[in-house]
């Protein structure tokens, strides 16, 4: 299983617009991706393509999260999604 740690860059955290952007990007990946707060067990990871799950995660600006995926294209998918999380989508 591929794993990538990313830091939430959006000033409002992973809420509303940033969550929608990330969920859409996750849904477009060729593999299923999960997300969890750093330090949480992999079994508690949530579906990265679910806006409700993302908003319920409570990830604020600066929070480190773990993305996980399995299968062909997993590494590339995680890199692409980490880039989305590490972009401030609330910047003017």
- The string of pLDDT tens digits covering residues 31-69 is 999 999 999 999 999 999 999 999 999 999 999 999 999
CA separation for the pair 15, 59 (Å, rounded): 8
- Tell whether 10 is covered by a domain: yes
Torsion sign over Cα 59, 64, 70, 74: positive
Kindly tell me if the per-residue pLDDT of 92 is higher than 90.
no
Give the neighbor-by-neighbor strand order of the sheet with 2-7: 2-7, 64-69, 33-37, 46-47
- Tell whether 60 is covered by a domain: yes
CA separation for the pair 92, 77 (Å, rounded): 27
- Tell whether 90 is covered by a domain: no
- Tell whether 92 is covered by a domain: no
Kindly tell me if the per-residue pLDDT of 90 is higher than 80.
no
pLDDT of residue 16: 87
Tally of domains within the chain? 1
Residues of the domain holding 54: 2-85
Rounded to the nearest integer, the mean pLDDT of the chain is 95
Q: Tell me the pTM.
A: 0.95
- Tell whether 13 is covered by a domain: yes
* Catalytic positions, written as ranges: 15
> Domain holding 76: CATH number?
3.30.1340.10
């Amino acid at each position: 299983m591929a794993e990538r740690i990313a830091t939430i860059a959006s000033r409002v955290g992973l809420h509303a617009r940033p969550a929608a952007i990330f969920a859409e990007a996750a849904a477009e990946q060729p593999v299923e991706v999960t997300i969890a707060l750093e330090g949480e067990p992999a079994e508690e990871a949530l579906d990265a393509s679910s806006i409700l799950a993302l908003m319920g995660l409570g990830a604020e600006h600066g929070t480190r999260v773990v993305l996980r995926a399995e299968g062909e294209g997993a590494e590339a998918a995680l890199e692409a999604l980490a880039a989305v999380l590490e972009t401030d989508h609330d910047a003017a």
